[in-house]
Structure 1
């Protein structure tokens, strides 16, 4: 078993200001270091996408499309890898929220709302994220105390 299979990895678009805000938000609410973070273009994530079993793709992710993902044109910008399973869109957000401290944990209850509603909201925010929140020309540089959370 690969070492990454034992980690909970938030996979994000490092060019997206909203995604970087979300990563910072998660770090602040995860004092127990439950979550790790990796940009979608990292070699580890590409390895995960190449080797994931179809049955572990729980939310209907098109793995072939993700393998060639261009984060600037594809709104699936937050993925969550946990226990060998890959989650996308609102499913990823709800699963991530389950590992955070504070009021944000209430999001885990939204997973009972039908997918067509939560994923439509997710899609609209993701589609317009660059217009609403801008784009970063540099990747987030982890603080020394957060360095072990980031996987390249």
Structure 2
């Protein structure tokens, strides 16, 4: 079996969340796409990888962590400590970006229920405010290399 066949058979063959945490995001959400561009710009070490929630990699990671594979209301961070959602995922990502973004990690002192209520409010209105695409678009080349989804190559 060639390397290409292995990657096709196992969408997680090239995914290593311990070395490169994976951010799963809504592939049609404009806010999510802007967030990914922001992360690529400020993740100077190139640590994070990205995959749409509905992609083979996204679906496999969701199943692996016993998370719902449909009706996505949160982006998900998969790292060495497991799966994280909503505000906790956002704060862990910010912590991984270094200063000044890592200062947001202090917000973990706010009760998760309060943080997640605010997160849910943004998530509920994200399409109304930021719009959405008809389909998940293939990212530009400088962003594409950071995707865990090999089907984009």
- TM-score, with length taken from structure 1: 0.80
1:100 paired residue number: 97
Counterpart-to-counterpart distance in 2, 1:84 and 1:51: 13
1:36 aligned to 2:49?
Answer: yes
Which 10-residue stretch deviates more, 98-107 or 31-40? Answer: 98-107
Moved over 3 A (4+): none
Contact 1:13 1:40 in 2 (8 A): yes
Counterpart-to-counterpart distance in 2, 1:140 and 1:110: 33
Deviation at 1:50, TM superposition (A): 1.9
1:118 aligned to 2:115?
Answer: yes
Q: SS where residue 46 of structure 1 aligns?
A: helix
Q: Structure 2: 5+ residue runs without aligned partners?
A: 1-11
Bigger Rg, which one: 2
1:4 paired residue number: 15
Contact 1:20 1:140 in 2 (8 A): no
Task: Give deviations 1:50-94, integer Å, cap 9, x for gaps.
Answer: 222x6xxxxxxxx2xx12x134xxx22x11000150000000000
Q: Structure 1: 5+ residue runs without aligned partners?
A: 55-62
1:70 paired residue number: 71
1:83 aligned to 2:80?
Answer: yes
- TM-score, with length taken from structure 2: 0.80
Counterpart-to-counterpart distance in 2, 1:36 and 1:121: 25
